[in-house]
Chain A
């Protein structure tokens, strides 16, 4: 990818475009030049900065939010099956 020109207004992405790129940015999946372009936008845009921080907060704070667990009786049944398979 070619180097981007120095910061010019024409180079600045619109916020409506930035919000679609935030996860790719957080995942490190944006090409270098595009990542820099996004960062320059963030430097001067409080709305997109807030948006990015909110998605980052969501990404980083859901550990332990769990409504899933494997029923203990199924677990214990499987382990008993495993034991009996070994003795077969």
Chain B
């Protein structure tokens, strides 16, 4: 997504202060979808998230005269959204700052099932793949084509809130990391952790969908390397 330049912000802000409804409509169309995604991290239902977005836009139109340009307009709007969403979340008794959500989701869970790797004390290949990533059709054939699209959508919908929000903003909405860090008020490191967890879970879901796993016969490979004779042939890949 193209970032609003500082001068672009100034033009938009001037137009809003002038009462230019087209400028306001453009802004609403540009940001509302992402705002719903962020609001969903704070409130339990879609309808509640829509209300948060609506309330935020009302605050923006009433408060635009107080915008001082110390952050980008987009960051300012998302800060308001966060405040509104936190208040709404508090009414629903589930209000936590995004950074706390992020912290709670950082459980140190491995990116890939540990059983997919050889043991750390393996003689020749410690910590290497025992079962390779399952191949799937290449992006040219379309990750979003056909049923994979549903698999991915379901995987994202099933993510913990902070991970879901970050992957939606980065990969679905196309924001850059700085924009996400600013809007959600999290550290760059936390942003990367959440993004990594989210993408790896989507990867696992696609892999599970394509099913078959490719197991490497390391025993045979090892035996061959060590000059032993083996009865079975190493699996061809």
Residue contact A70 to B203, C-beta cutoff 8 Å: no
A51 CA / B149 CA spacing, docked (Å): 19
Nearest chain A CB to B83's CB is how many angstroms away?
18
> For B202, what are the chain A residues with a Cβ–Cβ distance below 8 Å?
58
User: Count the B residues whose beta carbon is within 8 Å of the partner chain — how many?
Assistant: 60
Return the chain B residue nearest A66 by Cβ.
Answer: B172
> For A59, what are the chain B residues with a Cβ–Cβ distance below 8 Å?
170-171, 199
Take A19-B111, A65-B149, A70-B28 as given contacts and tell me if A54 and B136 are in contact as well, using a CB distance cutoff of 8 Å: yes
A47 CA / B207 CA spacing, docked (Å): 14
Nearest chain B CB to A31's CB is how many angstroms away?
13
Nearest chain B CB to A73's CB is how many angstroms away?
10
Return the chain B residue nearest A50 by Cβ.
Answer: B133
Residue contact A63 to B21, C-beta cutoff 8 Å: no
Residue contact B62 to A85, C-beta cutoff 8 Å: yes
A62 CA / B33 CA spacing, docked (Å): 15
Take A70-B33, A75-B32 as given contacts and tell me if A23 and B196 are in contact as well, using a CB distance cutoff of 8 Å: yes
Which residues in window 185-235 of B have CB below 8 A to A? 188, 192, 195-196, 199-200, 202-203, 206-207
A6 at the interface (CB under 8 A from B): no
**C-beta contact mask, A40-56 vs B, less than 8 Å → 1, else 0?**
00000111101100110
User: Count the A residues whose beta carbon is within 8 Å of the partner chain — how many?
Assistant: 45
> For B192, what are the chain A residues with a Cβ–Cβ distance below 8 Å?
23-24, 27, 29
Residue contact A14 to B21, C-beta cutoff 8 Å: no
Residue contact B25 to A20, C-beta cutoff 8 Å: no
Nearest chain A CB to B116's CB is how many angstroms away?
8
A15 CA / B129 CA spacing, docked (Å): 6
B105 at the interface (CB under 8 A from A): no
Residue contact B19 to A86, C-beta cutoff 8 Å: yes
**C-beta contact mask, A53-83 vs B, less than 8 Å → 1, else 0?**
0110111111111111111001101110111
B139 at the interface (CB under 8 A from A): yes
